[in-house]
Chain A
């Protein structure tokens, strides 16, 4: 194992897969010469050259569309959208094309491609640069959605996504890039898509989370342990495929569930998870399922009120205390 940042783990995954497979190419706005807005693609141009590491015009819809064509033509493109907010400019190619091409053409082609997109709020970037759009992608059949929380999962999931024969929306969290963790040294150590992980075992309540929300949930669990509450934290790792088995088993064990989503609450993915828990664990539940969500407002700039809009360690802990106080 080696300790490294989430950013370096992603960078390592890209380098390892590009070394392993000459059909892997990567492109996006400022990914080559500038080495990426978040420096995830540092060193790629120097090692792999401008045939495989390419800067693109600011044309997000076409970045995704060109990746679709290249994937259809036999390559394994990894596109970077500078931030997930700009994916909204590419929703036509993502939803109307990337997600549908295999199915509507009767399975005669496949799209082995990855669209990487950093996102999430909490850096005072204002309403247009702070969104958590994971529900948008999870809602759409035909694509996979990866949401790694740790450096090890970031590397393992990105490698698995590049090798997968389906299109993957790979959602990185901007506030995790500098976070550190242990990463396996084995270059064949992959994290399969569709496999959640119990990041912390507990017996009283299950917290279901993903991406940065997993990190906050683990911090909340550590606080709550001091109060005598034992939390199990399930990190989904991918939203599609969704590993329902792992969190259903956990909730059946603990009898209580808190679902944490960074996205907006209205029609957010937490509602979907809560409905699955209600359907599958009804007779084991000791309290109603609670959701902790982003506030349903465009993100304000001011850091004083921005943090109200994003789930925090304390709001997650409060939700856990709440479900612990209820008995049915």
Chain B
């Protein structure tokens, strides 16, 4: 059988993407369990259902392109290369965490991975992304900025200010909207005069495209093309990925604003088994191989939880550290 996937990416890369999707999903499931046990406290926003966006988008970027995101960003950090054990330790509030336990679930950051942060004020990351793009262009670094945001953020003033600014100064920003249909419990249709978020960019003369965000390869191809366009043109572009979160907004949300039928419909489009089926159908991997990948992810996560549990708390004196440079 002729493989469509192989025409797009080599086998090893496809398998790696599947590993990342499974690891992302299992990481979130593990977080939910640790939250229930009281090991993870505070807000916890899980990404389950949206994995195709983080994995496909990251694969379409260069390794040193900047990534910024919001507060549902565990998967984006891990897919970019953050060690699961250091992310888990962060969620446990331990000093071995990726931000020494100062950030928590919503504020992951690693400059060595060009992962420039999870931001928990809706829309707060837009202007910062524009500023990073200015610095990258000013210093002729050749890298672009991928700025992830949710559908709700498109109604913040910073979205509009930043689109205007990025186009005006001709800056290499790829805006990536993860439209999962809800800003907490308010649907896009109930919050946005124009629910097609990608169409909003016409007011700023910025091209845009919509992509089916449950298909990792579709996301990859859209992002790859757009990222290269942004890099070559030194101009912004926006991609709206249509996706869905399987869980509530946060662990505190029972999700009563959406019907069971709707949730079940989207679960039938689960991007992880969908990609698994394609890999098997196109004979890129066997089912046994894919099950092995899942088992490996579980081993990684057991290690991550153990590491987080056994890690030390921050010292009291650390409360004063890193407030000023």
Residues of chain A lying within 8 A (CB to CB) of residue B324: 102, 142, 144, 166
Contact of A66 among B102, B119, B130, B321 (CB under 8 A): B130
Q: Is A298 an interface residue (CB 8 A)?
A: no
With known contacts A69-B130, A70-B135, A106–B100 Cβ distance under 8 A = yes
Distance of A74 Cα from B66 Cα, bound (Å): 13
Q: Is B60 an interface residue (CB 8 A)?
A: no
Contact of A72 among B128, B139, B165, B168 (CB under 8 A): B128
Residues of chain A lying within 8 A (CB to CB) of residue B287: none
Q: CB within 8 Å of A: which of B86-113? A: 97-103, 107, 109-111
A75 & B135 in contact (Cβ 8 Å cutoff)? yes
With known contacts A68-B131, A69-B132, A62–B99 Cβ distance under 8 A = no
A86 to chain B, nearest CB (A): 13
Q: How many residues of B contact A (CB 8 A)?
A: 43
Distance of A102 Cα from B102 Cα, bound (Å): 10
Which segment of A93-101, A245-253, A276-284, A318-326 sits at the interface?
A93-101
B65 to chain A, nearest CB (A): 12
B103 & A72 in contact (Cβ 8 Å cutoff)? no
Residues of chain B lying within 8 A (CB to CB) of residue A68: 127-128, 131
Q: CB within 8 Å of B: which of A94-138? A: 96-97, 101-112
B161 & A61 in contact (Cβ 8 Å cutoff)? yes
Residues of chain B lying within 8 A (CB to CB) of residue A66: 127-128, 130-131, 134, 165
Sample 5 A-B pairs with CB under 8 A, ordered by A number: A70-B132, A96-B124, A103-B102, A108-B99, A108-B110
Distance of A304 Cα from B260 Cα, bound (Å): 67
Chain A interface, DSSP helix/strand/loop, else mixed: mixed
Contact of A69 among B135, B164, B321 (CB under 8 A): B135
With known contacts A59-B165, A69-B134, A107–B100 Cβ distance under 8 A = yes
Q: Is B323 an interface residue (CB 8 A)?
A: yes
A72 & B322 in contact (Cβ 8 Å cutoff)? no
Residues of chain A lying within 8 A (CB to CB) of residue B165: 56-57, 59, 62, 66
Contact of B124 among A25, A65, A74, A107 (CB under 8 A): A65
Distance of A165 Cα from B107 Cα, bound (Å): 21
Q: CB within 8 Å of A: which of B111-130? A: 111, 116-117, 119, 121, 124, 126-130
Distance of A107 Cα from B101 Cα, bound (Å): 11
Binding site for A on B (CB under 8 A): 66, 97-103, 107, 109-111, 116-117, 119, 121, 124, 126-136, 138-139, 157-158, 161-162, 164-165, 168-169, 321-325
A72 & B135 in contact (Cβ 8 Å cutoff)? yes
B135 & A107 in contact (Cβ 8 Å cutoff)? no
Residues of chain A lying within 8 A (CB to CB) of residue B168: 57
Binding site for B on A (CB under 8 A): 25, 51, 54, 56-57, 59, 61-62, 64-75, 77, 92-93, 96-97, 101-112, 141-142, 144, 165-166
Residues of chain A lying within 8 A (CB to CB) of residue B66: 73
B128 & A166 in contact (Cβ 8 Å cutoff)? no
B130 & A62 in contact (Cβ 8 Å cutoff)? yes
Contact of A25 among B107, B128, B138 (CB under 8 A): B138
Residues of chain B lying within 8 A (CB to CB) of residue A110: 325
B139 to chain A, nearest CB (A): 6
Residues of chain A lying within 8 A (CB to CB) of residue B103: 104-106
B128 to chain A, nearest CB (A): 4
Contact of B158 among A62, A108, A142, A166 (CB under 8 A): A62
B100 & A72 in contact (Cβ 8 Å cutoff)? no
Residues of chain A lying within 8 A (CB to CB) of residue B139: 73-75
10 A-B pairs with least C-beta separation: A69-B131, A65-B127, A73-B135, A107-B322, A106-B99, A105-B109, A106-B100, A165-B325, A66-B131, A59-B161
B145 to chain A, nearest CB (A): 8
19 A-B pairs besides A62-B162, A72-B135, A103-B323 with CB distance below 8 A are A51-B138, A56-B165, A57-B165, A59-B164, A59-B165, A65-B128, A67-B131, A69-B127, A72-B128, A73-B66, A73-B131, A74-B139, A75-B138, A92-B124, A104-B103, A105-B103, A107-B322, A109-B111, A141-B323
